Structure 1
Amino acid sequence: MVCARSDGRRLRAWLAGLVLLAAALGASGCGLLGGPANAETVPGVTSRPCPHAVNRNHGCIYLGTLSDLSTGPFSALGVLLTRAQRAFWERVNAEGGIGGYDVDAVTYVRDTGYVPSRHLAAYLEMKDRVLALAQTLGSSTTEEILGDLRTERMLAVPASFQSRWEFEDVILESGTSYCFHYMNAVDYAVRQGRVRRVMSVHFAGDYGADGAGGGRVAARAHRLAYRSVQTPQGPDRQAAAVRSILKFKPDVVLLSTGPAETAAIVGQAVAHGYKGRFFGDQTTWNVAVMKSPVATAMRDHYLMTATWKPFATDAPGYTAMRAALGAVVPDDTLTVGWSMQYPLKAVLERAAQNGWLTRQGLYTAMKETTFVDYEGMMPPAAGDFSGTPNASAFRETVFERPDPSRYTGLRVLTDYQAGATADGYRLDAPCSGVT
């Protein structure tokens, strides 16, 4: 039998290593805990060069980051997201910057530990010194600052993928929402074979509720039995969720948890005889699980619903990312961190071309953006921010499965695709409210 407590210790030890990485980056002057920059008339834009300017004759645009870099359930993801976005903007600066400015995405990086109150405090500390947020990790944490983002007309790139963001003008989201991923997951499972029961196992809050809403919509469309189970954070606190799975006997389980919780749930359920299939979005996965006791269970029973293809994919954006990152351990979270900066780059460039490099200028530029050049990392349809939520929402999923022979432990099963449920669904409200 696989022990969740043992798996948790292994994953927590691995996460601790990433915390040390974050500390080392900060100590080396890379700016994870950088000092203040001078605020001018336009918050986050200064005529003085950036602290580590590539172009010394340029002014500086400061971007903020609010992430989970140490103790929260998504710290393994937060460290890598932040590292990749730093490399993204370093490349932008090396290629000439934006409108006579370099971009600083390192001075205002703060660890908020996936705690809403810490997220708000860090945001208030930096908000008058940054033009926009290059990252705000988490659904509930971003909700904590959303009211002030609206008031300030400050754009923010979310490291979360709930359908709610389609309805927020200040949120510059990338990719497919949890809701549409899980509609596609149920459709995919139904095409693969007989499905009678679907269960969602999820954290509290909009992150979990959004995926559960999508699962409920798809189960209803296929006339399947459906059940939703809320579970707490912590790999050693998943026994009740596992019991629910074993009792209900779903053919498909949709997970909206962290990587450690996912490993515990899959490992324990399979050890107790569960034969069905788990689907998880990208926040449920970390390649480290393939070196843990649950590797076989993950390989045989887990599929990922992904917005991006793996790190080693052959496309211009992936090639540029690998070159900019240099010698790193391949990880698909780096792909996410890099690619979700493209919309912000596009909006900054448009605002600079408009001669309006302010928060209002960025807001206006975003509403004018119908195309984002992802350099082949996402389909063109993913970059339209000009329409209604229903028209602009990207609905496609790439299905992947664990494969230890691949660089990042995942093998692509399908190209981008949307099932009939997602294609036909009218997004008039966030999926977290679906009942």
Structure 2
Amino acid sequence: MIGTTYDIDMIAAVDFLTRTKGLKKGDKIGHVYFEGDYGANALEGSTWAAKKAGLTVVGQKIQATDTDLSAQVSALRKEGVKAVLISAGPAQTASLVGVAASRGLRVPVVSSAPGFAPQLMKTPAAPALAKLLHIVSAAPAVSSDLPGVQRMVKAYQKKFPDSPVDSGVLSGYNAAQLMGADLKKACEQGGLSREDVVRAHRSQKNADTGLGTPQDFSDVDRPASIKTYVLKPDAKAVGAVVNAEDAHTAPGVKEYLSAR
């Protein structure tokens, strides 16, 4: 697994809200999340971070088939939440933000990375997304000025001029680069068995492809990175997102990992 896990990103999301959006002790934040491992892991992080910050999480569990979040927005508005987290898919994020904006729940929304896709910025929800949404992600925006990212975008657009460049392209290319480094190291060490490749992979403590943060694969019990980017939708940017904050380790992340 490359990068952060969803719980780490949600700890960063709560930190972002308290630092930049004026949330304070006693406030409530909503968290709309998919049933299953993805949503449960994200909720674990938001609940832990909220408790440390003196906030209360109002959870709303949904299914992947739920694409109209009017009921969830009504429930969160009734609870008086001051911000909303969402760990779902792009359709759910668009519905949540669009409905919230239309019903007067104009509060900051922070999404896990899988909850955003560039195509959302061509939907009726685009103005609300641009105004209210941020995304927490293990990877930088594909519009980033990192030289490695710029080279990848240029090469991809040349090869596939009719295909959009998004975070999936970046993550896939990063994974391929890292696997290539593992194979090269295994070759140098004299073997290409499954065990040899795993050993080479686990020896990578500072694997840096230039496509984001360096990765440490040496500890199977910890994420490869604990640094999270905060992104913001921008319809004019490549991939329809820009970096709002560079990768950083949110306060409390190391404590959270140590306590698990």
3-state SS of the aligned residue for 1:293? coil
1:73 is matched with which residue? none
> Quick check: 1:202–1:208 contact (8 Å CA) kept in 2?
yes
Structure 1 residues 233 and 387 mapped into 2: Cα distance closer, same or farther (>3 Å)?
closer
2:9 is matched with which residue? 181
Alignment of 1:353 with 2:191, yes or no, is no
Structure 1 position 212, deviation (Å): 0.6
The amino acid across from 1:387 in the alignment is D
Give the TM-score normalised by the residue count of structure 1. 0.55
Structure 1 residues 412 and 352 mapped into 2: Cα distance closer, same or farther (>3 Å)?
same
> Quick check: 2:12–2:228 contact (8 Å CA) kept in 1?
yes
Alignment of 1:371 with 2:209, yes or no, is no
Alignment of 1:386 with 2:218, yes or no, is yes
In structure 1, runs of 5+ residues without a counterpart are 1-172, 430-435
Per-residue Cα deviation, 1:96-127 (whole angstroms, up to 9, x for no partner): xxxxxxxxxxxxxxxxxxxxxxxxxxxxxxxx
Alignment of 1:311 with 2:136, yes or no, is no
**RMSD of Structure 2 on Structure 1 (CA):** 1.9
3-state SS of the aligned residue for 2:42? helix
3-state SS of the aligned residue for 2:257? coil
Q: Which of 242, 245, 253 in structure 2 is aligned with 1:414?
A: 245
For residues 6-405 of structure 1, what are the structure 2 equivalents within 5 Å? 173-192=1-20, 193-195=22-24, 196-325=27-156, 326=158, 327=161, 328-374=163-209, 376-380=210-214, 383-387=215-219, 389-390=221-222, 393-405=224-236
Say which structure, 1 or 2, has more relative contact order (CA 8 Å, 6+ apart): 2
Detail structure 1 runs of 4+ shifted over 6 Å in the superposition. Answer: none
Whole-Å Cα distance in 1 between the matches of residues 39 and 112 of structure 2?
Answer: 11
Per-residue Cα deviation, 1:37-90 (whole angstroms, up to 9, x for no partner): xxxxxxxxxxxxxxxxxxxxxxxxxxxxxxxxxxxxxxxxxxxxxxxxxxxxxx
> Quick check: 1:267–1:298 contact (8 Å CA) kept in 2?
yes
How many pairs are equivalent?
253
Structure 1 position 237, deviation (Å): 4.2
> Quick check: 1:389–1:427 contact (8 Å CA) kept in 2?
no
Whole-Å Cα distance in 1 between the matches of residues 255 and 114 of structure 2?
Answer: 26
Whole-Å Cα distance in 2 between the matches of residues 246 and 333 of structure 1?
Answer: 33
Whole-Å Cα distance in 2 between the matches of residues 342 and 232 of structure 1?
Answer: 34
Give the TM-score normalised by the residue count of structure 2. 0.89
Larger radius of gyration between Structure 1 and Structure 2:
1
Q: Percent identity?
A: 26
Structure 1 position 201, deviation (Å): 0.7
The amino acid across from 2:221 in the alignment is P
